[in-house]
Chain A
Amino acid sequence: QVTLRESGPALVRPTQTLTLTCTFSGFSLSTSGMCVNWIRQPPGKALEWLARIDWDDDKYYSTSLKTRLTISKDTSKNQVVLTMTNMDPVDTATYYCARMFTAYGYYFDYWGQGTLVTVSS
């Protein structure tokens, strides 16, 4: 059974750095073709893909956010960490992590429930 769960602070101050952790089970990020992605959804707005990390440690970032994002993994702990610097109120959103298996295609077959992050002073 594949599960993913996001964790991190619910409230972040403007200019601070956000650190989110995705803890997963039911698959291994050392399997060829396996990836974990981060996606966010601001309240009332559409989904936005943020970043991806692959089994071989290749990393991909949103064009507009790449200077602020860092994605990393700890395969032994089944965790993926996303950091986003210089947080702003417009970054208030529900942040999701999701699995992708590139052998199937570039889509997300399992998602976490998401964690709401509010940016406010």
Chain B
Amino acid sequence: DIQMTQSPSSVSASVGDRVTITCRASQGSSNWLVWYQLKPAKAPRLLIYGATSLQTGVPSRFSGSGSGTDFTLTISSLQPEDFATYYCQQANSFPLTFGGGTKVEVK
């Protein structure tokens, strides 16, 4: 199975801050990397697919980069609704595997 290592596990930030989350795969995944946003009692939300493609309806302050084994999710200017937990997922092969999550908290 491909192991996904996400860092940091949590980050404290303020509205307007730039936030960067990294994800590393134990094996090369080309650009088969996806990012999700999770909030309590809400359906998880797909943000980024194919490492860099923004899902329809997702604000442009979210962006993804990377290929191979190292990937990044960036929130360019954190908004109040962005306080949540973010997960990466390798979309290269089954079993699909997720990173450990990054909780973005209020500073």
Contact = CB atoms under 8 A, between A and B. Distances in A.
Contact of B91 (A63, A107, A110, A113): A107
B46 A107 contact: yes
Contacts of B87: 46-47
A41 B46 CA distance: 16
Interface string A47-60: 11100100000001
Interface stretch (B11-19, B76-84, B95-103): B95-103
Given A107-B46, A109-B46, A112-B43, A46 B32 contact: no
Interface residues of A, number: 23
Nearest to B48: A107
Contacts of A105: 32, 34, 49-50, 91
A65 to B, nearest CB: 10
Interface residues of B, number: 27
A43 B43 CA distance: 16
Interface string A25-64: 0000000000000000100001111001000000010110
Nearest to B87: A47
B44 interface: yes
Interface of A: 4, 41, 46-49, 52, 60, 62-63, 96, 98, 104-114
